[in-house]
Amino acid sequence: MGAIPPGGERKGRNTESMAAAISITGLASQEAARDVRRALTIAIGGLPVRFWVPDAALSAMLAERYAPFLHGDGPRSPEIDFEISLAPPGWLPGPAELEVRWDSGLWRMGRGDFRAEFDLAARRGRITLFPNPYAVDALLRIVHSLLLARSGGVLLHAASGIRNGRGVTFSGVSGAGKTTLARLAPPGVLLLTDEVSYLRRDGEGFRVYGTPFSGELGLRGQDVSAPLGALYLIEHGAVNRIVPLTQPGAVRRLLRNTLFFAQDTDLVSGVFATLCELIERVPVCRLEFAPDARVWELAA
Amino acid sequence: MNPLYIARSPAVAARRLGDEMVIMSAVDSTLYTLSDVGAVLWQAADGRTPLAEIVRRHVCREFAVDQETALRDAEEFVRALAERGILLVSGEPINSSAAAEPAARAATAGPREETP
């Protein structure tokens, strides 16, 4: 890996300590030793990921985009430290469609606007990108899908909200009505996301967290969470009604809506186990809805 | 006829949900639900017990079917699962390192394939 500071380094960072860290990697350079980078820690679902940003403008852009999820150095070490590099002139961009693969102990991925690689075990990674926040957004989704796969959670294509202290999640593929349901939310509902929901096992149940990942509504969630009271697999219908699902049927539908990018056997098995636990611990039903606000009274 | 041995593939995840055994291929995330007979065979697939013995001991006894018919159906079934990478099938006992650890429990029709 490149010039990445050790994950344990947190406070009192200075040029000297950074130079020492870099020399350990064998990639020291005069330019890097000047250390103009800024650290930004973005914690989603309580899992912090730290970025070392080389550019003030990009740093400000990321700070604004992820404002509710920015964390200072806290007691918890980042799950991963990412070194950001700006794409140099003539840089070969990644493939047009997102590609993710596991190769020689590293996760490698790329898209038209970034290339990244990271080592989950060593908690280090690096990303080269054009200076826009979307590359970081894509990377965060991939990283969190992998972190969650081994810690009892999933990222779902779903809108979520909190009503009366209880989380409710509406899951569906594109066009199923996530944004519509988010728009129909009555006063008193705290919307967590209209696009990607973050679910983690919590004791005997599950918890739903806000995410910065927004859909059509452009809604960027807040860093709040609640126990998940119900999960609905949504589809448009003539009337509002809840339809029971068999457990295998629920798992099959949830699999369709799960964001997961890896082919790793253990991690895929982890996602399957989590979805099975989810349907065993949380009511999961099909929700047909007509586009009117009364659906919230039925569902939450 | 040579004995046939069956073992669960390590590249799948399996779970009993309600009354159904659900199996997911970790390679391509395809989801399968097994019939009752399929579930019996799946759970007895330890790599060491010949298929004919599994059929005699579990299928014929639990599903009131004659040995010849049950064994023919079972062979067809396990070969179908093997083609999908869910079961390992061999003319020799299958080493445990190549197979998943035995599960708790698992019978006539083949798998009902569901593509997620």
Mean per-residue pLDDT, A260-289? 90
A228 within a domain of the structure (yes/no): yes
Q: Where are the alpha helices (DSSP H) in chain B?
A: 36-44, 51-54, 60-63, 67-83
Q: How many domains does chain A have?
A: 2
pLDDT recorded at residue A253:
94
Answer yes or no: do A166 and A287 share one domain. yes
What pLDDT score was predicted for residue A33?
Answer: 44
**For residue B98, what pLDDT is reported?**
61
CB contact under 8 A, B24 and A279: no
Rounded to the nearest angstrom, the minimum Cα separation between A250 and chain B is 10
Q: Does A174 touch chain B (CB under 8 A)?
A: no
Choose one of A120, A149, A178: the last residue of a domain.
A149
Residue A2 has a pLDDT of 36
Please tell me whether residues A190 and A103 are part of one structural domain.
Answer: no
pLDDT band at B109 (very low <50, low <70, confident <90, very high): very low
The answer on A274 and A168 residing in a single domain is yes
Residue A177 has what DSSP assignment? S
Q: Are residues A286 and A157 in the same domain?
A: yes
User: In the predicted model, what is the mean pLDDT of residues A251-280?
Assistant: 89
Higher pLDDT: B97 or B10? It is B10
CATH code, A217: 3.90.228.20
- What residues of chain B lie within 8 A of the CB of A248, using their CB? 17-18, 20, 22, 31, 33, 114
Q: Which two tokens stand for residue A180?
A: 């519509």
Contact A255 B116 (CB under 8 A): yes
Task: Determine the structural domain holding residue B17 and report its residue range.
Answer: 5-114
Q: What is the pTM of this model?
A: 0.81
pLDDT band at B99 (very low <50, low <70, confident <90, very high): low
Reading the block at residue A63, the tokens are 């700070």
For A185, the domain range is: 153-299
Residues A158 and A264 in one domain: yes
Closest partner residue to A269 (CB to CB) among B26, B31, B33 is B26
Instruction: Residue window 231-290, chain A: list those with CB within 8 Å of chain B.
Output: 246-248, 251-252, 255-256, 260, 263-266, 268-269, 272-273, 276, 279-280
Say whether A246 and B116 touch across the interface (CB within 8 A). Answer: no
Same domain? For A215 and A162 the reply is yes
Residue A232 inside a domain? The answer is: yes
- Residues 6+ away with beta carbon under 8 Å from A201: A151, A152, A153, A207, A274, A277
Mean pLDDT of A175-184: 93
* Residue A279 domain-assigned (yes or no): yes
Identify whether residues A200 and A123 lie together within a single domain: no
Share the mean pLDDT of chain A.
Answer: 85
A7 inside domain? no
Question: Of A149, A179, A210, which residue constitutes the final position of a domain?
Answer: A149
Higher pLDDT, A178 or A33: A178
Pair A266, A287 in one domain? yes
Query: Cβ contacts of residue B28 below 8 Å, gap of 6+?
Result: none
Number of domains in chain B: 1
Answer whether residue B29 shows pLDDT above 90: no
Distance (Å, rounded) from C-alpha A36 to C-alpha A186? 46
Q: Tell me, yes or no, whether A140 and A227 share the same domain.
A: no
Highest mean pLDDT pick, A9-13, A69-73, A256-260, A279-283:
A279-283
Query: A279 to chain B: nearest residue by CA?
Result: B17
A223 to chain B, closest Cα gap in Å:
31
Distances, alpha carbon B3 to alpha carbons A224, B39, B69, B77, in Å: 59, 21, 16, 16
User: Are A27 and A124 in a shared domain?
Assistant: yes
Q: Is residue A236 part of a domain?
A: yes
**Contacting residues for B46 by C-beta, under 8 A, at least 6 apart:** B7, B99, B102
Q: What is the pLDDT of residues B51-90, one digit of tens each?
A: 999 999 999 988 888 999 999 999 999 999 999 999 999 9
Which residues of chain B from 15 to 34 reach within 8 Å of chain A, CB to CB? 15, 17-18, 20, 22, 24, 26-27, 29, 31, 33
Same domain, A110 and A194: no
- A290 and A176 housed in the same domain: yes
CA A164 – CA B21 distance, rounded (Å): 37
Last residue of a domain, one of A114, A149, A184: A149
- Of A11 and B39, the structure prediction assigns the larger pLDDT to B39
State the pLDDT confidence band at A59, using cuts at 50, 70 and 90.
very high
Residue pair A232/A287 in contact by the 8 Å Cβ criterion:
yes
Per-residue confidence (pLDDT) for residue A16, from 0 to 100:
31
